[in-house]
Chains A and B, each alone.
Chain A
Amino acid sequence: MYQKFDVVIVGSGGAGLMAAMQLPNASVAVLTKVYPTRSHTGAAQGGVAAALGNQEEDHWKWHMYDTVKGGDYLVDQPAAEILTREAIDAVYELEHRGLPFNRTDDGRIDQRRFGGHTRNFGEGPVRRSCYAADRTGHMILQTMYQNAIKNEVRFFNEFLVLDLLINDGQACGVVALEIKTGEIHTFHAKTILFATGGYGRAWRVTSNAFACMGDGMSIAYRRGIPLQDMEMYQFHPTGIYKVGVLLSEAARGEGAKLLNGKGEYFMERYMPVLKDLAPRDIVSRCIVQEIKDGNGIDGKDYVYLDVRHLGAKKIAEKLPDITDFARNYLGVEPITEPVPIQPTAHYAMGGIPTDVDARVVIDSQWTPMPGFYAAGEVACVSVHGANRLGTNSLVDLIVFGRRAGKHMAKFIQETDFVPLPASHEEYSREYIDHLYSSTGGESAAHIRSELQNEMIENVFVERHDKGMRHALDQIAGLQEAYKNVQLQDKGKRFNTELVEAVELGFLLDCAEATIHGALARTESRGAHFRLDYQKRDDANWLKHTLAYRGTKAHDVRLDYKDVILIDDPIFKPKERKY
């Protein structure tokens, strides 16, 4: 089927819906492979950072400083300025649209501490994270969906986008599979926004939903658009042991502490000022270090998160969901017992490169592709650099989602539809037909689990050349195997086996780009920590990686572009200490 809209938004998480809210007068279609309220944004617990100063003095510039420093100076500083300045207004907009923030006694939005957020350029923790209990992301998603209903946005639920259509260098549509019927649809549009989220499912232990398969990144990558800084992948320190389900940093924001096998609150040793509230890359590394030093619980590969001293009342009031998870998935009662945790794959700092208006840029010269936008976790504006601060992702969604929406509103006024390229559905149809007809005997589930194991072995918190080469060889093999994936379910109707197989293809692409970026970057920076190059190397590596897809896993082409700094001594790259 063929349909035509001014704007097609792929993804109904925070970023996609925030953009949709800016387009009340355009014909907008939102395509999403899950029902909108099931998007992964709903899992975010902790909060959304903005220097409102409701609890104590705060300034956006302090926030910007923390963002830049937290990102280990791989952040494009003008973008960070926009992020932190506009965060304030964006949070008020959310409140006006109904978001039920927790409140201070005088009725303002309540704020709490979060990792890496400091007052006065690093002096000590500051209350900056605006929150709604421990389900801020859920509330953002609900509020935005509610407003989309108010604005009568057209949703295409359970549509899996397969391909981006480009004609003459300009994006002009997408092809999607309607999961319920198995039909292929073409959506012709003046502008397209990708807001498809991350790819945490590439690792075995992850906080991410099953749906986080890197779809958007891979689709762009297959169409010749580079992926930026994919080696920068965040591992959150406190995932529930084995399951990976996240125990939000909000717990530590409220005072929870990490405890090792010797009964020691070890973060005090590593980071005397911020302690447990140091940025995530650092805390994750400290945990891995403790485990390597034999300080894991019973010598095993996990440590404890301890909330007991907070008291039953505070735990119930401020951290209800988290307590629930611990009880449910571990059978642990956090009020009386410490909770077993380990680092878990969490967030892609990298993604489709964009400028500050969320326009996708396709080379190191910042050349935009007209009509194509990306926002949210799928995009890399680069405000998170080498490591994202907690609560900065939701800010990213609302600030750059909003900018994307506003810019698209302008763009559709000024431009006309570009015709669709010839035989535009061919690629998608062939892809799907191949999966249906293949008799190669390979199982997608098996390939996926091999990939996830390999990534957690060799492309995790600590990396080194040998391991990553091994991983790359493995992935090359898995990509070959992928060509022979065979389905048991040959039906058209709601074929989730087909969907999973398509998604696996996306995931393999993202893993490939991640490893290439990581192998080449011979330094340690933020979340990218190499045992064989333990120091940061600004002279050679203060630059963004751009990975272009080749024909095989081994022949990815890398290019680089400079990090944009602003002329202010405060933001000059220096060693990162907390």
Chain B
Amino acid sequence: MAEKKKAPATAKKKNQTLEIIKRLARNKVAMAAGIVFVLLFVMAIFAPLLEPYDYTLMNGKLAFAKPSLEHPFGCDRLGRDLMSRIIRGSRFSLGMGLLGVLCSLAAASVLGSVAGFFGQVADNIVMRLLDVIQAIPGILLTMTISTVLGRGFFNTVLALSIGGIPGNTRMLRAMILAIRNSEYVEAASSINCSKARIIAKHILPNAFAPVLVGAAMGIGGTIGQASMLSFVGLGIQPPDPEWGALISDGRNYIATYPHLIVFPGLMIGIVSLCACLLADGLRDATDPKLKK
């Protein structure tokens, strides 16, 4: 109720993105999660430099070695250093998570814009199509598409992103419809703003904050799904050290050598947790209600 009147003292160039980052920075938990998140991606990029051992190097003597100082996460059934494999595997897991979410968002923006702008017919076609796709439970859909496309990195990214399209499209469409009726869009059209410009300059930028939050949230879920695909025999398969594949590889030794499963699982958990915390922080930072 108390409406605040902030007026900047000087005409300083202020960027909204910067402001969001500043607000985010005040949220310590989200910031910590963000830093860990970024560090994990750095780890993925520089994986070859950070691996203590060659991730493919087998050593019969070290088969099933428990965690030790030399091998902090232990070794797998072929005596390969698990830590090196997890570090290398982050390339697969994080890559699929990020790419999967990005592709899905890109497709969803196109579909959502089409549905939100171009009249009844286009909207109906898109929405009915989504109805059909969404009648298949999420994981099942991803599994089906993955079955059809086959295994491998890019095929899996594609399967993961198709699975995410319906939800993202619906969210974007709802946002776009809401913004389309706002007075500033009407104002834009009254000053002769073209339809394309209205979409690009007035609607999409305002629709994207929640999408960004959804994307951050989605990365964790997508990595989880990717690992699940590997686990049921789709996606990335051993010997590639994707985290889910590592778990799948070690599942038969759960009773005796749990470290084979504990560490890759923890990694998935940590990434998802960070993504989740970051998303929550982003949502608070971009929430216009809080900004007012």
Do A and B make up one complex? no
